[in-house]
Amino acid sequence: MLFKKWKKQFITKGGWKTPKSLFRIFIILWALYVYCKSKGWLPKKSLKGEHVFITGGGSGLGRYMAMEFAKLGCKVTITDVNIAGLEETKQMIAQQVGLSAQVHSTRCDVSDSAQVKQAADLARDVFGAVTILVNNAGIVQGKSFLDASEGMMRKVMEVNTLSHLWTIREFLPDMIKLNRGHVVSIASVAGVVGCPGLAEYSASKFGAFGIDECLRLEIKKMGKNIKTTCICPYYINTGMFDGVKSKWFLPILDQHWVVNRIVNAVRQEESVVLMPWNANAFFVLRGILPTFVSDYLFKICGAFDQMDDFKGRTQQKQTLV
């Protein structure tokens, strides 16, 4: 009966041409597209032979992204301030991918533009022009405005935001010459909505989000075939946010699932990815609701208390979100 009714309305009488029906069809197709995209079911480009430069490759997401890119036949350069972590990453890639994996590592404090330039020159000497840049290094302090130290506030901004400017300025010229490339920015859900106890971290990720957006638009203005992807994940179980509390409808994300989603997003050439998918609601609600209403919703969702028992990592080093 339902099929006959649908056939009569949308086919026989041409009801699908009405604005309401067209809008419904658009919503259905859009939802199907988003679902397929999140599952990695869209057509994917090959990354074989690409030179991938990953900051913060000594642990967490950076380590496992390097491994996945190596599996896809990429030449991989990893940087970190943690030399032991870099060596461990290289050993893990050799074990998982084989001795044929092409991996280069170098120590680099990405907050220092001179060290970024040095690391970039070494990477080019080893594997040639970088065609995929992954700005991944990040740190967090996790304290309130009055308890946060000035030194760490500065360092968070330098590592999480300014470093993106230094790496992009290093590698973008080669991408422009080649008329191909991909810049990946690991931002955060905290880069689209704030949270008590994450002032400078959230500011730094808002900055990373803004840098990505401006870069994307500048590239389009130039008419170059260079892609950008901004990744905005919720809390991930890398250890960086140990102690954070989260509600069931926004669970702590598994780092291996996140890595797979990031690699698929690059291969599917997605522009902006919030994960999990329902995190998009925060972005939408903040834009359409009065501030006091969205603030109240964030409160009842537990956002006010998330950082109360935060521990994180004690080392003040570059690590991964």
How far is 182 from 266, CA to CA, in rounded Å?
8
Q: Judge whether 201 counts as a catalytic residue.
A: yes
> What local confidence, expressed as pLDDT, does residue 158 receive?
98
Is 202 a residue whose pLDDT tops 70?
yes
How far is 277 from 253, CA to CA, in rounded Å?
12
Is 317 a residue whose pLDDT tops 70?
no
Q: Percent of the chain, pLDDT > 70?
A: 92
Q: What is the pLDDT of residues 143-186, one digit of tens each?
A: 999 999 999 999 999 999 999 999 999 999 999 999 999 999 99
Is 231 a residue whose pLDDT tops 60?
yes
Is 2 a residue whose pLDDT tops 70?
no
Neighbours of 1 (CB within 10 A): 5
- Confidence at 247, pLDDT banded by 50, 70, 90: confident
Strand partners, 185: 135, 230
How far is 66 from 57, CA to CA, in rounded Å?
7
Residue 284 exposure: Cα atoms within 13 Å on the Cβ side = 6
> What local confidence, expressed as pLDDT, does residue 298 receive?
83
How far is 127 from 62, CA to CA, in rounded Å?
19
- Confidence at 320, pLDDT banded by 50, 70, 90: very low
Query: Which of 33, 35, 64, 201 is labelled catalytic?
Result: 201
> What local confidence, expressed as pLDDT, does residue 67 receive?
97
Q: What is the pLDDT of residues 86-110, one digit of tens each?
A: 999 999 999 999 888 999 999 999 9
Average pLDDT over residues 17-36: 83
> What local confidence, expressed as pLDDT, does residue 51 receive?
98
The DSSP secondary structure of 234-261, one letter per residue, reads --BTTTTTTT----TTSPPBPHHHHHHH
Through-space distance between the first and last CA atoms of the chain, rounded to whole angstroms: 52
How much is the mean pLDDT over the chain?
A: 90
| Least confident interval from 218-227, 235-244, 258-267, 307-316 | 307-316
Instruction: For the sheet with 132-135, list strands across it.
Output: 102-107, 75-80, 51-55, 132-135, 181-186, 226-233, 272-275
> What local confidence, expressed as pLDDT, does residue 15 receive?
61
Is 286 a residue whose pLDDT tops 90?
no
Higher model confidence: residue 302 or residue 259?
259
> What local confidence, expressed as pLDDT, does residue 78 receive?
98
- Beta strand 102-107 with 75-80: parallel, antiparallel or unpaired? parallel
